[in-house]
């Protein structure tokens, strides 16, 4: 997809986004914020990454063209680039929107690694708090500053509503995880973040923060699941110009979903009770799609080749008929 053609191709695809699937022959569907998940009789999971987009734990009214393809293929890229650190759940990727995965028992904690003071961490810090998930933060840190060292700020995975920041001590006290399991996964998260930081730097990017999710296979072994280093789970800055923008107290040029959150906040939506979700205009949906594609191409160093089928579910059915 050439940059000159990109906006036009995205705009033409606005009516053909993959918003949901009904693959009843595969298994019972569980619909998450972004993915439709099916468990097969033999214990595999079919993860269909749709074009739905969420922010502040709410699914936004309109989907983003090609977003699902970007996320699924970018996750596959990084699962492959980190499999020497920890085993992951990927078995195959038979379609741009689909991953066939090992069924695991999810661990109910998100392991969020932060290398920079940005997003939720910055908003917490700005409001006067100097401890985040049991980790003390120094005074005098500014928005987008690099932290003295990366920190782990876990969060509980809420079935509905906002996830909750939680410390290691609280996780142990509640019996969510034992100390050995927490420390094992925390070390894996740090190693993954170190790898992601290096890979981003090789592409002229800064991995500011990201989250990792883990599960256990049937033998109890730890497995990396969900997604890894995608724009839905991560925040990237461009390395070029970072210091200059920091000195001028200007917003960083970033590749992440944060600009969608900022757009919503400018229109009075922060995910709080009683607030109405604004509709996404078509031109903004095109812009969001361009950002996702830009991140894919920047991070992988390869051009994004969109699948422009007008019936993406039929395409997925055909791919799964062979894969399964």
Residue where a domain stops, chosen among 247, 263, 292: 247
Q: Report the CATH number at residue 223.
A: 3.30.470.20
E strands present in the chain = 29-31, 35-39, 44-49, 54-55, 58-59, 90-95, 98-102, 105-106, 109-116, 131-132, 135-136, 146-152, 155-156, 164-165, 205-216, 222-225, 234-238, 254-256
DSSP 3-state percent helix, strand, coil across the chain (nearest 5): 35, 25, 40
Structure token pair of residue 312: 């993406």
Residue 270 domain-assigned (yes or no):
no
Q: Give the domain extent around 123.
A: 106-247
Residue where a domain stops, chosen among 191, 223, 247: 247
Regions of the chain short of the pLDDT cut 50? none
How far apart are the C-alpha atoms of 82 and 319, rounded to whole Å?
Answer: 26
Helix axes 282-300, 67-82, angle to 10 degrees: 20
Q: What is the pLDDT of residue 254?
A: 83
Same domain, yes or no: 130 and 199: yes
Q: What is the pLDDT of residue 159?
A: 55
Our count of domains for the chain comes to 2
Same domain, yes or no: 93 and 125: no
Residue 264 domain-assigned (yes or no):
no
What pLDDT digit, counting tens, does each position of 36-73 carry?
999 998 889 999 999 999 998 899 999 999 999 999 99
Residue 16 domain-assigned (yes or no):
yes
Same domain, yes or no: 115 and 91: no
Q: Report the CATH number at residue 97.
A: 3.30.200.20
Same domain, yes or no: 128 and 206: yes
Q: What is the pLDDT of residue 317?
A: 95
E strand or H helix that includes residue 294: helix 282-300
Q: What is the pLDDT of residue 153?
A: 97
């Amino acid at each position: 997809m050439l940059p000159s053609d990109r906006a036009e191709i995205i705009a033409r695809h606005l009516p053909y986004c993959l918003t949901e699937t009904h693959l009843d022959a595969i298994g019972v569907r569980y619909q998450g914020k972004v993915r439709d998940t099916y468990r097969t009789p033999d214990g595999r999971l079919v993860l269909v990454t749709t074009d739905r987009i969420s922010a502040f734990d709410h699914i936004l009214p309109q989907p983003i063209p090609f977003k699902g393809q970007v996320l699924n293929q970018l996750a596959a890229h990084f699962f492959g680039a980190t499999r020497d650190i920890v085993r992951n759940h990927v078995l195959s990727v038979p379609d741009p929107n689909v991953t066939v995965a090992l069924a695991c028992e999810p661990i109910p904690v998100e392991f969020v690694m932060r290398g920079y003071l940005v997003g939720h961490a910055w908003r917490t810090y700005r409001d006067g708090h100097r401890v985040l998930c049991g980790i003390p933060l120094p005074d005098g840190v500014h928005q987008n500053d690099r932290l003295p060292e990366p920190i782990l700020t876990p969060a509980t995975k809420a079935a509905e509503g906002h996830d909750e920041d939680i410390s290691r001590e609280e996780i142990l006290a509640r019996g969510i995880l034992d100390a050995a399991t927490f420390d094992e996964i925390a070390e894996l998260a740090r190693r993954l973040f170190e790898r992601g930081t290096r890979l981003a730097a090789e592409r002229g990017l800064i991995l500011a923060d990201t989250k990792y999710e883990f599960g256990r296979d049937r033998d109890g072994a730890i497995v990396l699941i969900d997604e890894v280093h995608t724009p839905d789970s991560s925040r990237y800055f461009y390395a070029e110009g970072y210091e200059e923008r920091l000195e001028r107290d200007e917003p960083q040029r970033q590749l992440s979903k944060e600009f969608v959150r900022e757009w919503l906040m400018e229109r009075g939506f922060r995910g709080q009770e009683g607030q109405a979700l604004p509709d996404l205009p078509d031109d903004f949906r095109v812009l969001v799609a361009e950002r996702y594609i830009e991140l894919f191409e920047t991070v992988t160093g390869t051009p994004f080749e969109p699948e422009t089928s007008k019936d993406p579910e039929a395409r997925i059915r055909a791919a799964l008929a062979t894969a399964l």
